[in-house]
Amino acid sequence: MISNRKIKHQVYLAFKDKSVIFTENDGSFVIELSNAVSELDVSLVLDIYDLDNQNAHPEGHFGWQQFSIDPDARVLKGKVHWNNNHAKVDLAHQQSTQSWLNPEAIPAKQLLLIAVLRENTTNAIVYLEKIPVFQTSDDCAAFYHAPVSKNGPLAKAWFFPDTEGVVRLVCRDTCLKDAVGHFCLDIYRLCRENNIPVVLYAEFFDLCLNQIIERESKILADAGEKDTIFYFHSTYDPLLEEIIQLNVKKKMVYFHGITNPTYFRVFDFELSAVCEKAYQQLPLLARFDVIASNSKATADLLAKNVSVIQKEAIKIIPPKLMKKDLTKKSFAKKTKQKGAKLLYVGRIKSHKKIEDLVQLFANYLTHDQEAELFVVGGQGEKAYTDYLTWSLNHYLGSTQHKVKWFGQVSDEELKNIYQTADAYISMSEDEGFCLPLLEAMIAGVPVFAYGISAAKEVLYEAGICFNNKNFPALAQYIHTILSDDSRIKDIISKQWERANYLLANMDGRGVLCLFEPDYVT
């Protein structure tokens, strides 16, 4: 049952199970309500979507039903009815007060059930929870299959784990395609492989992680005095101060960095405000027992903003766990392509300066008319996307079809794209570590990066850094290098040496050091 401990950020409801499987429970589900719901003037709305087309309305939306809530009710039993490409929901012993059911058939393979508490006066959303709905247990297993990455064997602990306590990982946003969430999942896997008791908490996360994640506020009731908290800080978190106040054995924070809010003020003012609030929380990090960061550049940022934190005390741990000592490849010369393939991988956000990439590419086309630009990454906010559309029209005009937008891709697809690329280009002006630079080096792709501190730290003396954005001169320079096979071979060789140096410290040993028990002296 839901804990009813008095906390500021209450969990109002939860599904008893992590999914609904028709072959096991005939579509039945149970919703548990906390005592705090009785203090609210709310109704329960149950929504059903096509899980694979949930953002499309109405073609991906089966419908919704609204129910009043008995103030004394703590358990609600319901059932999903799904047949002939139509779906609806019933609650036991209750009639819906309002509903909308899509008259059109939707040939979905799996469903998404959302329970939403809405204020009766304003219809505002107070709280929501989601679970997937499957026809069979095999469908469920396929959906949850291997959500945690496996990048080869990780380090093995050299100590006996402290099994009396639990490592409680807290990462407010945990998404597979985001570096912060991905690293958190790496550490979760590292703990599991080394028999270290671990629980992962998040507020926003990919649904395929539903089976291994608890809601963030639940840690306030779960944490015990023998536990260790490992907190990931990269955004504003209204629960941070309460988490710091918990009575546990040790509190550790991993600081990923926070994007400078000025980069978002034009295109995403709300995100800019969130980043501002995250910066205001930085002094709270001084209250953790151990502070780690993803790079020296990020550690500098933290020490600069919080004077009581000494930079020398911050442990530097790269934000990805991978196997070490890759066998050095003999990079065969790629099959000669008609036109260079320039590549960018990452979020479509304004601090990444995709518009500068477009301008550079427009200038590069004057040297190589057959060139193409590959952009891999999820869609950004609409205002910035609209600006990029303008940039494409303004700088490329009729040649903008040479920019290929891949969106989010699978790991295997990304690997194939790297193998196709002739050069990796980064115009980003704000990074904590910049993992795609390392990925490109591992793939044997020459890297050209704007010389911010994090990029220079990753590349060191490998790859090519530039400190100004003179697009005509830069385009000519890149073309000259890509036309010189011996220069390319030299760059790739140095990048490989640098990548191996970085990978030697990315197998999890640095993280395990943080979990090593204190010995009796």
Backbone φ and ψ of 107, nearest 5°: -80, 65
In the prediction, which pLDDT does 411 show? 85
Token pair, residue 501, equals 């140096």
List, in order, residues 6 or more apart from 80 with CB less than 8 Å away. 20, 22, 27, 28, 29, 48, 87, 88, 89, 111, 113, 133
**8, pLDDT greater than 50:** no
Average pLDDT over residues 122-129: 92
pLDDT in tens, 55-77: 778 889 999 999 999 888 999 99
Multiple choice CATH, 167-323, 3.90.660, 1.10.600, 2.20.28, 3.40.50 = 3.40.50
Q: What is the mean pLDDT of the chain?
A: 91
Q: What is the pLDDT of residue 107?
A: 93
CA distance 160 to 464: 44
Flag whether pLDDT at 520 surpasses 70: no
Residue 323's pLDDT band (cuts 50, 70, 90): confident
d(CA 241, CA 257): 18
Pairing of strands 290-293, 250-255: parallel
Predicted pLDDT of residue 161: 85
Cβ atoms within 10 Å, residue 432: 21
Q: What CATH topology corresponds to 341-503?
A: Rossmann fold (3.40.50)
Q: What is the pLDDT of residue 521?
A: 52
- Chain position carrying tokens 């196997």: 323
CB within 8 A of 349, min separation 6: which ones?
259, 263, 264, 380, 381, 384
461-505: per-residue pLDDT in tens?
Answer: 999 999 999 999 999 999 999 999 999 999 999 999 999 999 988
Q: Give the span between the Cα atoms of 331 and 341, in whole angstroms.
A: 17
- Closest by Cα among 186, 187, 219, 185 to 201: 219
Query: What local confidence, expressed as pLDDT, does residue 36 receive?
Result: 87
Predicted local distance difference test score (pLDDT) of residue 4 = 38
In a 10 Å sphere around its CB, with 0-12 CB exposed, 13-18 middle and 19+ buried, how is residue 36 labelled? Answer: middle
Position with higher pLDDT, 8 vs 466: 466
Q: What's the token pair of residue 273?
A: 């405000």
- Nearest alpha carbon to residue 302 among 316, 320, 318, 289: 316
Helix 354-364 with 382-391: angle, nearest 10 deg: 10
Residue ranges, comma separated, of all CATH 3.40.50.2000 domains in the chain are 341-503
Check whether 357 has a pLDDT greater than 90.
yes
Q: Strand 403-407 to strand 423-426: parallel, antiparallel, or no bridges (unpaired)?
A: unpaired
Longest pairwise C-alpha distance within the chain: 77
Is the model's pLDDT at 26 over the cut of 90?
Answer: no
Residues 493, 462: Cα–Cα separation, whole Å: 9
The whole-number average pLDDT for the span 303-312 is: 91
What type of residue sits at position 227?
D
Using CA atoms, how far residue 405 sits from 344, 389, 408, 509, in Å, is 10, 12, 9, 37
**CB count in 10 Å sphere of residue 63:** 19
Q: What is 417-485 written as a DSSP string?
A: HHHH-SEEEE--S--SS-HHHHHHHHHT--EEEE--HHHHHHHTTSSEEESS--HHHHHHHHHHHHT-H
DSSP string, 241-259: HHHHTS--SEEEEEE----
pLDDT at position 332 is 44
pLDDT > 70 fraction of the chain, expressed in percent and rounded? 93
Fold assignment, 13-143: Immunoglobulin-like (2.60.40)
For 141-145, 278-282, 350-354, 441-445, which range has the lowest pLDDT when averaged over its residues? 141-145
Q: Is 377 left (phi over 0), alpha (psi -120 to 50) or beta?
A: left
Q: How confident is the model at residue 198 (pLDDT cuts 50, 70, 90)?
A: very high
Q: Name the residue with higher pLDDT: 505 or 376.
A: 376
Pick from 443, 429, 440: nearest CA to 464:
440
pLDDT at 351 over 90: yes
Q: How far are the Cα atoms of 140, 412, 416, 489 from residue 337, in angstroms, in the given order?
A: 43, 21, 15, 17
The residue that leads in pLDDT, 329 or 167, is: 167
What is the amino acid identity at position 210?
N
CA distance 486 to 476: 18
Residue 148 confidence (pLDDT)? 58
Let me know the angle formed at the C-alpha of 497 by 493 and 498, rounded to the nearest 5 degrees.
115
Give mean pLDDT, residues 452-469: 95
Point out which residues pair with 290 in neighbouring strands. 252
Q: What is the pLDDT of residues 380-408, one digit of tens each?
A: 788 999 999 999 999 999 999 999 999 98
**pLDDT over 80 at 329, yes or no:** no
Question: 306 CB contacts (<8 Å, ≥6 apart)?
Answer: 282, 283, 285, 286
* Residue percentage of the chain with pLDDT more than 90: 78
